[in-house]
């Protein structure tokens, strides 16, 4: 295996890790207002990802940095083509991150509803835009001989790219609902499990369509990719496991489904990294966009040393915050009979 092949695999793994970890974050962000029927329920849902979401989001930064260092030609063309979309993505991620911190700063229902809406909106827009971008890599974009994007923003909105984004959003909803079924208790857990049972068949059909369309786009023969077959089977397995209220196994299968869906796109893309719709000869590959051998060698040493440390630290974080969360933990304290209210004796304002 050459270093360029190794780094293509590393980048595929980083994008996969981002969607596996941040995918349930996006799902919880989308669903917290739907499944949390009151403030206590919404707070419980948000607190399941409170200690985790910012660490999960780092995988996106690392994936982009790895592309920049290992395949600067790919990075330059892709990020130039998606410039406006990336600005919208950053706005969605910023608004979503701020909403976690600010929704509880003011004791106002209207204030919290506003931030809840922004959290849900950011959690929808982010995976949709990233999915469109990843889908466009395989479908093809107008790229000339100099590896420069020659289209406009509207050329990014290809049917396959949009379908990829919708599929990833559906998987995020399923992934988030199984995560809430695993991390919460009581009525919130019941509602999350019910939603998972309803979302799984829809996500399964979308993944099936994605697998077929992806294989057709790749032009790699008639036989389907085993990764795509496994992704479809994993989604439909989640339907059965969610029905049987096996929360841990249901979450495991949605994790596998998300991982294999993203990986299937990269396996069909290889050895290209961006397909040119202008001419197949202008497509970007791991060979014509890679850094020099010395750079790749240094990067390989760094990733071999530090990636296991990062994985161990993140696994430890998940272990520390493994307990279930109940909406009852966020209910206001009940007053005993005869006990004065906290505002007793204060003048009305």
DSSP 285-330: ETTTS---HHHHHHHHHHHHHHHHHHHHHHHHHHHHT-S-B-GGGG
First to last CA, the chain: 73
d(CA 271, CA 12): 12
In this prediction, residue 345 carries a pLDDT of: 43
Q: What is the pLDDT of residue 275?
A: 94
Measured CA to CA, the distance from residue 23 to residue 197 in angstroms comes to 18
Kindly report the backbone phi and psi dihedral angles of residue 152, in degrees, each rounded to the nearest multiple of 5, phi listed first.
-115, 180
> Prior bond to 271 cis, omega within 30?
yes
- Count the residues in the chain: 349
- Predicted confidence band at 334 (pLDDT cuts at 50, 70, 90)? low
| Top-confidence residue, 329 or 143 | 143
C-beta separation of 316 from 23 below 8 A = no
- pLDDT value at position 257? 93
Is pLDDT of 109 > 60? yes
Q: Within 10 A of 164 (CB to CB), how many other CB atoms are there?
A: 29
Tokens 């990020």: give the residue. Answer: 79
Average the pLDDT over 188-195 and give the result: 90
| Lowest-confidence segment of 9-13, 175-179, 292-296, 345-349 by average pLDDT | 345-349
Confidence of residue 222 (pLDDT cuts 50, 70, 90): confident
What percent of the chain clears pLDDT 70, i.e. is strictly above it? 94
Q: What is the mean pLDDT of residues 256-275?
A: 94
As given in the structure block, the two tokens for residue 157 are 């909105």
Least confident of 11-20, 48-57, 63-72: 48-57
Find the mean pLDDT for residues 53-60. Answer: 88
pLDDT of 349 > 50? The answer is no
pLDDT at 290 over 90: yes
What is the model's pLDDT at position 347? Answer: 39
Return the pLDDT at 172: 95
Closest CA to 91 of 63, 118, 62, 69: 118
Three-state DSSP at 151 gives coil
Provide the b/e sequence for 33-65 (b: ≥16 CB within 10 Å): bebbeebbbbbbbbbbbeebbebbbebbebbbe
- Is a pLDDT exceeding 80 seen at residue 101? yes
Output the DSSP codes for 245-259: T-HHHHHHHHHHHHH
User: pTM for this one?
Assistant: 0.89
Phi, psi of 231 (to 5 degrees): -65, -45
Q: How many helices (H) and strands (E) does the chain have?
A: 11, 2
Residue 269, pLDDT > 70, answer: yes
Lowest mean pLDDT among 39-43, 221-225, 236-240, 300-304: 221-225
Across the range 201-221, mean pLDDT stands at 89
pLDDT on residue 261: 94
């Amino acid at each position: 295996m050459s270093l360029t092949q190794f780094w293509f695999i590393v980048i595929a793994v980083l994008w996969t890790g981002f969607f596996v970890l941040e995918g349930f974050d996006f799902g919880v962000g989308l669903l917290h207002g739907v499944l949390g029927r009151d403030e206590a329920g919404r707070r419980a849902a948000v607190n399941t990802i409170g200690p985790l979401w910012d660490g999960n989001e780092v995988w996106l930064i690392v994936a982009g940095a790895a592309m920049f260092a290992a395949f600067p030609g790919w990075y330059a063309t892709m990020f130039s083509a998606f410039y406006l979309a990336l600005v919208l993505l950053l706005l969605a991620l910023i608004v979503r991150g701020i909403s976690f911190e600010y929704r509880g700063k003011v004791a106002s229902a209207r204030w919290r509803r506003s931030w809840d809406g922004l959290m849900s909106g950011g959690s929808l827009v982010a995976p949709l835009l990233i999915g469109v971008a990843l889908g466009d890599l395989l479908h093809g974009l107008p790229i000339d001989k100099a590896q420069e994007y020659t289209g406009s923003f509207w050329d990014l909105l290809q049917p396959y790219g949009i379908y990829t984004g919708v599929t990833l959003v559906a998987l995020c909803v399923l992934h988030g609902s199984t995560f809430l079924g695993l991390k919460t208790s009581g009525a919130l857990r019941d509602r999350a499990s019910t939603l998972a049972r309803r979302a799984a068949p829809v996500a399964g059909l979308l993944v099936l369509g994605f697998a077929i369309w992806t294989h057709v786009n790749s032009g790699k023969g008639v036989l389907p990719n085993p990764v795509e077959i496994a992704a479809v089977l994993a989604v439909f397995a989640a339907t059965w496991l969610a029905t049987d209220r096996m929360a841990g196994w249901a979450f495991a299968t949605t994790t596998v489904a998300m991982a294999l869906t993203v990986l299937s796109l990269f396996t069909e893309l290889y050895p290209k990294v961006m397909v040119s719709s202008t001419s197949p000869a202008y497509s970007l590959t791991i060979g014509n966009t890679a850094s020099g051998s010395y750079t790749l060698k240094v990067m390989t040493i760094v990733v071999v040393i530090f990636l296991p440390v990062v994985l161990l630290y993140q696994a430890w974080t998940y272990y520390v915050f493994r307990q279930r969360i109940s909406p009852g933990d966020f209910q206001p304290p009940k007053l005993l009979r005869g006990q004065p209210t906290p505002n007793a004796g204060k003048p009305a304002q």
